Amino acid sequence: MSSEDVPAEKMPCEDALAEIYLLLDRECSPERDAELRRHIEDCPPCLEEYGIDEQIKHLLARKCGGDLAPAELKSRLRASIRQTVATQGGVTIERTERTERTEITVEQRTTSD
């Protein structure tokens, strides 16, 4: 029996519904995507919920998708969050710029007695 022959009942509806937005946002592995789609296609209640969530996602994208925060505001917020974490969390934050991405290292500070 191949994985495609496994009945939809093998995946509980709660599991499928918990991952609907991962599926909608294309954030699951190809294998999990196929499992979820198989379940949803064979389960009318889950298919209905998927359809509703898909419509909500499209509506939100259409109504709210054009508003982006200015880059300067994002930068200030990130700096403020880093400062707050460093001050209140007792951690040291080190930021390394890479060509493809930024790496952030967080280390817990220890106090010497």
The per-residue pLDDT for range 81-92, each reduced to its tens digit, is 878 877 776 666
Place of tokens 């969390």: 89
Contacts of 58 (CB under 8 A, 6+ apart): none
Q: What percent of the chain has pLDDT over 90?
A: 31
55-65 pLDDT, tens digit per residue, is: 998 888 888 87
pLDDT at 110: 65
pLDDT at 4: 43
Report d(CA 37, CA 43) in Å as an integer. 10
